[in-house]
Amino acid sequence: MILPLAPTDLLPKVIMGVDPGTQIMGYAVIEVQGQRVRMLQYDVIDMRKLGTNHALKLKKIFERMTELIDEFLPDELAIEAPFFGVNVQSMLKLGRAQGVAIAACLARQIPYVEYAPTKVKQSVTGSGNATKEQVAHMLRQTLKLPPLEEAPKFLDATDALAVAMCHHYQKGNNVKAGGKSWGKFLADNPGKLAATTTVKKAPSRKKPAA
């Protein structure tokens, strides 16, 4: 028996997925309405030219995330949690990069959820031990994406797309930070955008009143 969708499931929702990194950070934006998923954009924030200046990298992450938020007006952020490794310094830097991405969303009152890498892989491929290539292959089949070169930066982008899809499969039930979206904030405060950014604003997505 197929249960009818709840009224809130019929409204379009924009989800941003992020795969944190200190050299290349993947991001993806999808729009979900009911069971339909439309991929809006997936790409990377490439910081390799910044060398070893970690402060500049954090600044670029915050600025680029803010631009993306203002362009796509996401309702929720899904971000991959840092994995535990043997290099403590690398873990600390990765955690800072993740924190800056989260801070950019919280500054726009966007709720966020963290997902463990194994949870993301399992939700997309059925295996928590799947490789990046296997994740990318499954996403291309599921979303009918055009073929891309198997360059590392594209695998970071598809990893971010996997995080967004993982959140979609969870039906957003794990949102735990705040309750307002940036789109809702703009609707309530139309004069704020001009004061906070010069990026061209995407067309507003009006939702019917509940």
Alpha-helical regions (H) of the chain: 54-72, 88-106, 117-125, 132-143, 152-169, 182-188, 192-196
List 70, 75, 76, 80, catalytic entry = 80
pLDDT digits (tens, 9 = 90+) for 16-57: 999 999 999 999 999 999 889 999 999 999 999 999 999 999
Q: Domain boundaries in the chain? A: 7-196
Query: What's the CA gap between 203 and 136, in Å, rounded?
Result: 30
- According to DSSP, the residues that pair with 36 across neighbouring strands are 33
| CA-wise closest residue to 12 among 163, 207, 210, 161 | 207
9 has binding-site annotation: no
19 annotated active-site: yes
If DSSP codes are grouped into helix, strand and coil, which group holds residue 109?
A: coil
Answer yes or no: is pLDDT of 2 > 60. no
pLDDT at 144: 85
19 has binding-site annotation: yes
pTM: 0.77
156 has binding-site annotation: yes
List 19, 70, 75, 159, catalytic entry = 19
CATH H-level superfamily of 7-196: Ribonuclease H-like superfamily/Ribonuclease H (3.30.420.10)
Residues 164 and 15 sit within 8 Å (Cβ to Cβ): yes
List 150, 156, 159, 188, catalytic entry = 156
Supply the DSSP symbol for 84: P
pLDDT at 85: 64
- According to DSSP, the residues that pair with 17 across neighbouring strands are 28, 78
pLDDT digits (tens, 9 = 90+) for 6-25: 555 578 999 999 999 999 99
